[in-house]
Structure 1
Amino acid sequence: MFGHLVCALISFIIGTLLLPIIKQQFNPPPSVVQTITPHMTAPAAKFPTESPIALVLQNHRFNPSNFTVPAGKRFRIQLTSHDPSVDEFESYDMKFEKIVTPNTTITVYAGPMHPGTYSFFDDYHPEDAKGTVTVETGDQDNVR
């Protein structure tokens, strides 16, 4: 009997106390982000000012599945998931991984990168959801 009480108490603590705290740490409410953001300072050169590359994840496929960026510049990828399941947007080459829940949008930063082709994928569906980023030098106006 004592064991059942301990299990019930642990379930209660996890479900009502710890789970909301964990969710808040990984996805803070806008009011927290707005409160913190004005006080944060960072060199402007580290964050891209151009519009983000917009990706959509639907039916475990990225659209577009490949895009081009200029060499030597930091860039932003904004991913919107229309998958019914949780996905993990990841790239070993560009050194990011981020969980994306259904019907949400996340942003990741990458670069600056040397010319070449770099891969990204959904770690939960790697055979279906994969893509590449081509990093090129040259005419910066034609890159995207």
Structure 2
Amino acid sequence: MGKDEAVAIASLMALNILVGAALVAYGRRVRGRPVAFPFIVAAGAIVVVAGAVSAFAFGDKGPEKAEAAGPKPQAVSLTAQGTKFVETKLNLTAGARVSMKFDNKDAGVQHNFALFDGPDATAPVVFRGDLVPGPATVTYSFTAPPKPGTYFFHCDVHPTVMKGTVTVAAGAPPPGGAAGAPLQLSAKNIAFSPTKLTAMAGGKITIHFNNQDPATPHNVVVFNGPDATAPVLFKGDLVTGPASADYTFDAPPPGTYFFHCEVHPQQMTGTLTITR
């Protein structure tokens, strides 16, 4: 509720109290004048109704604002029972936020969900959930891979018997003015691939960063200029490979911006071009 609405409601409530007090005080005086008293009662009723209408019209609309905050995550369920996954095939939308209900029904046994960026567990990790001792239920939150395709998942504790696939399908195109598909950026052999990225001005930019260098930390730092002496626009958290992360930040104005890995600033560099 805004400041103006709060002031209006408080004023009406105060007026209600004053009218009520006047009715009580004046009531004794108008016993002999029955014609005037109904008009006072009617006036008081009008003020009370006006206060109620204002409170309804200007009151807090928190739930509506919450609903308009953005799309809900894609909900999926995965159950572990008898040292196997009940669901071995899952379907997700490319780039969607995912809320996975993970239900471990095996008492005294740990399970989890680990998703890989490829057909088997040798591929980089997209997401790895914490181990869950059963029986227990948790919610895993992560971002679906940005590219349509088939991805492998397993339980880290029982990788040979608990496994499955996630099929990622392309989502609907974003509405006008919304952010486009994530930019793809990989780190391999202490080098970025590609070294040139392009995005539209306005809205948000998401870089899907895939670090393929085992036991080596990398990140992405974007500068507001042609080199690392310029102010920092965005600095992503370090990612130790093999692993992936999504970096999201506000798109700067049109122009060309320098980026590097802060751990390997000489070998790992590139440019981000923002177009209208």
Normalising by structure 1, what TM-score? 0.60
Q: Give a deviation string over 1:52-88, Cα, whole Å, max 9, x none.
A: 1111101111111111111123110001011131123
1:59 aligns with 2:189: yes
Name the SS for the 2:207 alignment partner.
strand
Aligned residue in 2 for 1:101: 240
Residue type of the partner of 2:184? A
Q: Runs of 5+ in structure 2 lacking a partner?
A: 1-126, 131-137, 142-177, 225-232
- Contact 2:179 2:204 (C-alpha < 8 Å) held by counterparts: no
Aligned residue in 1 for 2:180: 50
- Contact 2:179 2:203 (C-alpha < 8 Å) held by counterparts: no
Aligned residue in 1 for 2:219: 88
Q: How does 1:1-144 map to 2 (within 5 A)?
A: 29=129, 31=138, 33-34=140-141, 49-84=179-214, 85-93=216-224, 94-137=233-276
Count of aligned residue pairs for this structure pair = 100
**Residues 130 and 110 (structure 1), Cα distance of their counterparts in 2 relative to 1, 3 Å cut:** same
Q: Give a deviation string over 1:89-112, Cα, whole Å, max 9, x none.
A: 222433222111111001101223
The CA RMSD over aligned residues, in Å, is 2.6
Q: Runs of 5+ in structure 1 lacking a partner?
A: 1-26, 35-47, 138-144
Identity of aligned residues (%): 23
Looking at structure 2, the residues matched to 111 and 129 of structure 1 have their Cα atoms a distance apart, in angstroms, of: 22
**Structure showing the higher helix proportion among its residues:** 1
Residue type of the partner of 2:242? N
Looking at structure 2, the residues matched to 73 and 101 of structure 1 have their Cα atoms a distance apart, in angstroms, of: 28
Shift of 1:115: 0.7
Q: Give a deviation string over 1:12-68, Cα, whole Å, max 9, x none.
A: xxxxxxxxxxxxxxx98365543xxxxxxxxxxxxx653211111011111111111
Structure 1 or 2, whichever has the larger Rg, is: 2
- Contact 1:119 1:132 (C-alpha < 8 Å) held by counterparts: yes
Normalising by structure 2, what TM-score? 0.33
